[in-house]
Amino acid sequence: MTEGSVNAAEEAALLGLAPVAPPATERYGPHPSQVVDLYGPPDGPLVAVLHGGFWREAYDRAHLSPPAAALAEAHGLRVALVEYRRVGGGGGWPGTFEDVAAALAHLAGLGEVRAVAGHSAGGHLALWAAARGLVAGTVVAVAPVADLARAHELRLSGGAVAGLLGGADRVADRLPETDPMLLPPPEEAGVRTVLLHGTEDADVPVELSRRYAAARGARLVELPGTGHYAAVTPGTAAFGRFAAELTRRA
């Protein structure tokens, strides 16, 4: 199978899962997207999950509700699935970043946030949050857009980075505040940082995670034969690896 066909099959498998309604939802701001869905026992270890979709309004948190529910049921976690303002819906620079910071601050009021996970664009936001000192413990970034400058060069998803940062003419000025490659390494602050990336990922090339791991000292786990979605799809071997990294304490 080609990278594209691997991705297409994995995407169909994930999006074919029925969304799972959360037992509880909390609001961290007045905007409709400033909400967090909570799965699992109230006394379980608290982990935050940030969804992807190249930061665009068209993609919301619903597609990650099945893995959030699976993590809660199988591992006893209290999973906080975070929504945030996205490009086309009041987000982008700086709103998206403000929302991630506000959501994590809100969750800290519920208890210690043991880990933050993110998929794709959400992986970028998780790495950004860790670099800004907003995360303690563990970050697990799945297929992350870990190198914004390189993603912009590659024009991933039709120029999604430019959309996030307010236009191609603003990218260079805003990268120092938004690109994990240009921010302090989370490992220096004691944050365990793990990247999981499929070698057949056609949406976010594994090259980006390789570059980040080499520059920032993070641990990269490559998933041979895997595309962009398997690691967040319950029932796959890649999802098992994701869950193991998310629940590991050392």
**Residue range(s) defining the domain that contains residue 130:** 3-247
CA-angle at 71, arms to 148 and 140, nearest 5°: 25
Model confidence over 145-189: pLDDT tens digits?
999 999 999 999 999 999 999 999 999 999 999 999 999 999 988
Whole-angstrom Cα distance, residue 21 to residue 179?
33
Q: Are 82 and 113 in contact (CB under 8 A)?
A: no
Model confidence over 214-241: pLDDT tens digits?
999 999 999 999 999 999 999 999 999 9
CA-angle at 185, arms to 177 and 110, nearest 5°: 80
Model confidence over 206-219: pLDDT tens digits?
999 999 999 999 99
Question: Six-digit token pair at 235?
Answer: 């029932």
Count each helix (H run) and each strand (E run) in the chain, helices first: 9, 8
Model confidence over 91-125: pLDDT tens digits?
999 999 999 999 999 999 999 999 999 999 999 99
Nearest CA to 119 among 186, 200, 54? Answer: 54
- Indicate which CATH number applies to the domain containing 210: 3.40.50.1820
Overall number of domains in the chain: 1
